[in-house]
Structure 1
Amino acid sequence: MSAAHSPSPATPVLDRIRVGSAPDSWGVWFAEDPAQTPWRRFLDEVAEAGYEWIELGPYGYLPTDPGRLREEVARRGLNVSAGTVFTALHRGPAVWDETWEQVSRVAALTRAMGAEHLVVIPSFWRDDRTAELIEEPELTAGQWHHLASGMERLAREVRDTFGLGIAVHPHADTHIDTEAHVARFLDATDPGLVNLCLDTGHYAYCGGDSVKLIETYGERIGYLHLKQVDPDILADVVRDGTPFGPAVGRGVMCEPPRGVPELEPVLAAAQGLGVDLFAIVEQDMYPCPPEQPLPIARRTRAFLRSCGA
C-alpha cells in the first residue's frame, strides 16, 4: 500500500458501507467452466482475504441446496448479500415466463441465504466472446417501454413472492450502459420499485461519472459494485470496437487504486446518502490463473480499509 493510501486520522469512517467480494473477482463467469476457480477455493480465499460478504455468482456455481450452502458459508464466517440474474425484458411479455422461471430459482436461494437484494443485469446486444451482433445496440421506443414496464413487474413479483428488492445493473454491451441510457431508464421506472446497482467500473467503461450519478439519483442507488478501469486499455478498446469479453481478457478492469474512477470520492458520496449500502468488489478477471485472485483480493481489501471502508 502506498503512503498516499495509508490510514490516517483524516480518513473518513464509512460506517454505512458494507464491503464484500464476489466470484467474479476470482474469474468466475459461468456455473461450470474448467478455467474457473473451484467454488470451495473461492470461499476459502474470499474469507482469507478479509471479506465477510459475498454474492452467489452464476446460479449453480455455488451449491444450490440452501442447507448445504448455509453450512459452507457459515463455517468460513461469510454471509450472502445478493443473487444475480440476467434478463431480456425489452423483448416484451413473450419472454416473461422464461424470465420468471430462472429468476425464481435465484431469488429463492438468495432469500434462503438471508440476503435482501437481487442484482438484475440486462442481456447483451453483442456476444461477449465473438462480437457477433445479437441485437441492435439502441432500443426502439417500444422496446424501452417493454424494458421499463417489465422491470417494474419483475420488482413487484420479486418483492411480493420473495421479499427481495431488485437493483438493476448498468453493464457494458447492454442497453443500459451510458449516462443517457441510465438516466432514461431511471426516469421511466417507478422509484418505489426499481433501484440501481451502480457498478463503478462498468459506468466508467461507458463514459459515466459515478459521483455525479450518486449526486443526481442518490435515492435510486440501492447497491454498489466496486471496480476500476485501466484508462489506457479502455482507450484501445473503444478505438478498436472490442467487445466486453475480450476487453476483460486484455485487462481493461484493473486492481484499485490503479485505474478510474477514484473510489474514495465514490465511497464518500455513497456514505453521504445516509443509508446502508453493500459495496461489493467485482473485478472482472475471466479467465485468470488460479493463483492470481487472492493476492489482488488482499490488496484491494487493504486499500478499501485505507479509505475508511
Structure 2
Amino acid sequence: MRLGYCSITWGGVVGHPTGVTSVKDLFYLTHGDMRQAVTDIGEAGYEGVEMFDGNLVEFADRPEVLAGHLHDAGLELVSVYSGANFIYPDILPDELDRIRRSAALAAQFGAERLVIGGGARRAAGTTDDDYRRLADSLNEVADIAESQGIEASYHPHLSTIVESPEELDRLLPNTRIGFCPDVAHLAAGGGDPAAIIRSYGDRINHVHLKDLTRASVSFQPLGDGDLDLAGIVGALRETGYDGWLMVELDEYDGDPKEAAERSGEAVRRLLAD
C-alpha cells in the first residue's frame, strides 16, 4: 500500500461562496497555501496528495504552477474530492455539470481517483426515494469519471444520509460506484470500520485513514484517538487491498506538518507489523 495525505489540514474546508446562489459553482476549498501544503506533505515522506476540486479550479488557468509544486515536492496528485446533494432533481443537472468539471481537472492534473461525498438530509426527513436518487446519481458520477479515464469512489460522511452501517447498506448494493471507507467517519456513524471493510472489500478502491476520539467525535492524528488502526489495516490486507492509504485530518489546532509527520510514523509502524 502507498501512502498519501490530504491537503485539508492546511486551512480546513469551506464551500465556494458563489455556491449559495449558484449551485453549479459550489466547489470545496481549503483556505490554505497549497504550495506550502504539498511541500510539507512531501517533506513528511508521503508519495501522494489528495486535494479539493475548488483548489484545482484556482490553478485551471495556470496548470504549470501546480504541476511545478507537485514535482518539486516529489508528489503525485492521487485524488480529487468533490460532492453534491444528489437528491434534488431540479438542481441535479447543475451539480453533475460541476462534477464533470471536477473530473476533467482531476484528469488534467494526472489524478487517478475522483472521491465523492454527499446525499443531503432533508429538513422534512429522508425518504426511500432519496437513496434511489443518490444511487442513480452516483452511477452517473462513475460514468463521468470513466469518461475522463479515472475511477470514482463514494465516501460516506457525517451529516449525509449515509452515516450508519444500515444507511451504507441501503446505498451500496444499488450503485456501482467504488467505495472509499473513511474509517473515522464510519466509526463516528456507529459502525465497526474493520467489519465494514470486510463486508465491502470487493468495492474498495480508495481509503481515507484517520483516527477518532469517539467521546467527543473529534478527529485526531493517527495513534492519538481510540480506533483500532491495526485491526483496520489488517482488514484491508485480508480483502487484498493494495492501493493508496490517504491519511486525513480534517481540523487540527497545531502545526499541520507536524501532524502529518506523526501520522506517517504511526501508519508506517502499522504497515511494518
Q: TM-score range by the shorter chain?
A: 0.7 to 0.9
- Cross-structure match for 1:277: 243
- Cross-structure match for 1:163: 149
**CA-atom RMSD in angstroms:** 2.3
- Cross-structure match for 2:127: 140
Report the residue type matching 1:108 in the other structure.
Answer: A
Q: Distance in 1 between matches of 2:16 and 2:39?
A: 18
Q: Distance in 2 between matches of 1:296 and 1:78?
A: 18
How far apart are 1:137 and its partner, in Å? Answer: 7.9
- Cross-structure match for 2:51: 56
> CA separation of 1:143/1:272 partners in 2, compared to 1, >3 Å: closer, same or farther?
same
Q: Distance in 2 between matches of 1:253 and 1:137?
A: 29
Bigger CA drift: 50-59 or 64-73?
64-73
Q: Distance in 1 between matches of 2:123 and 2:209?
A: 28
- Cross-structure match for 1:86: 83
Q: Distance in 1 between matches of 2:93 and 2:143?
A: 15
The answer to whether the aligner puts 1:179 opposite 2:165 as a matched pair is yes
The answer to whether the aligner puts 1:266 opposite 2:232 as a matched pair is yes
Q: SS of the residue aligned with 1:56?
A: strand
How far apart are 1:141 and its partner, in Å? Answer: 1.5
What are the residue-to-residue correspondences of 1:209-248 with 2, within 5 Å? Answer: 209-234=192-217
- Cross-structure match for 2:266: 303
Q: SS of the residue aligned with 1:177?
A: coil
* Deviation per residue, 1:3-42 (Å, 9 max, x gap): xxxxxxxxxxxxxx11110112333313779x94322211
- Cross-structure match for 1:67: 64
Given that residues 10 and 33 in structure 2 are in contact (C-alpha distance below 8 angstroms), is that contact kept between their aligned partners in structure 1? no
Q: Distance in 1 between matches of 2:118 and 2:96?
A: 14
Q: Distance in 2 between matches of 1:167 and 1:298?
A: 26
- Cross-structure match for 1:255: 221
Aligned length: 259
> CA separation of 1:281/1:105 partners in 2, compared to 1, >3 Å: closer, same or farther?
same
* Deviation per residue, 1:280-303 (Å, 9 max, x gap): 111110xx55x6211111111011
Question: Which structure has the larger Rg over C-alpha atoms?
Answer: 1
- Cross-structure match for 1:42: 37
Instruction: Determine which structure has greater relative contact order: mean sequence separation of CA pairs < 8 Å that are 6+ residues apart, divided by chain length.
Output: 1
Identify which of 102, 115, 120 aligns with 1:119. 115
- Cross-structure match for 1:199: 182
Runs of 5+ consecutive residues of structure 2 not aligned to the other structure: 18-29
Identify which of 9, 13, 31 aligns with 1:25. 9
> CA separation of 1:29/1:207 partners in 2, compared to 1, >3 Å: closer, same or farther?
same
- Cross-structure match for 1:106: 102
Percent identical pairs in the alignment equals 25
* Deviation per residue, 1:154-196 (Å, 9 max, x gap): 212321x211211101000111110000111012223xxx111
Given that residues 118 and 156 in structure 2 are in contact (C-alpha distance below 8 angstroms), is that contact kept between their aligned partners in structure 1? yes
Q: SS of the residue aligned with 2:234?
A: helix
Given that residues 137 and 174 in structure 1 are in contact (C-alpha distance below 8 angstroms), is that contact kept between their aligned partners in structure 2? no
> CA separation of 1:20/1:138 partners in 2, compared to 1, >3 Å: closer, same or farther?
farther
> CA separation of 1:198/1:262 partners in 2, compared to 1, >3 Å: closer, same or farther?
same
Taking structure 1 as the reference length, what is the TM-score of the superposition?
0.77
- Cross-structure match for 2:24: none
> CA separation of 1:275/1:203 partners in 2, compared to 1, >3 Å: closer, same or farther?
closer
How far apart are 1:123 and its partner, in Å? Answer: 4.7
Runs of 5+ consecutive residues of structure 1 not aligned to the other structure: 1-16, 126-134, 235-251
Given that residues 66 and 109 in structure 1 are in contact (C-alpha distance below 8 angstroms), is that contact kept between their aligned partners in structure 2? no
Q: Distance in 2 between matches of 1:101 and 1:88?
A: 13
Given that residues 16 and 54 in structure 2 are in contact (C-alpha distance below 8 angstroms), is that contact kept between their aligned partners in structure 1? no
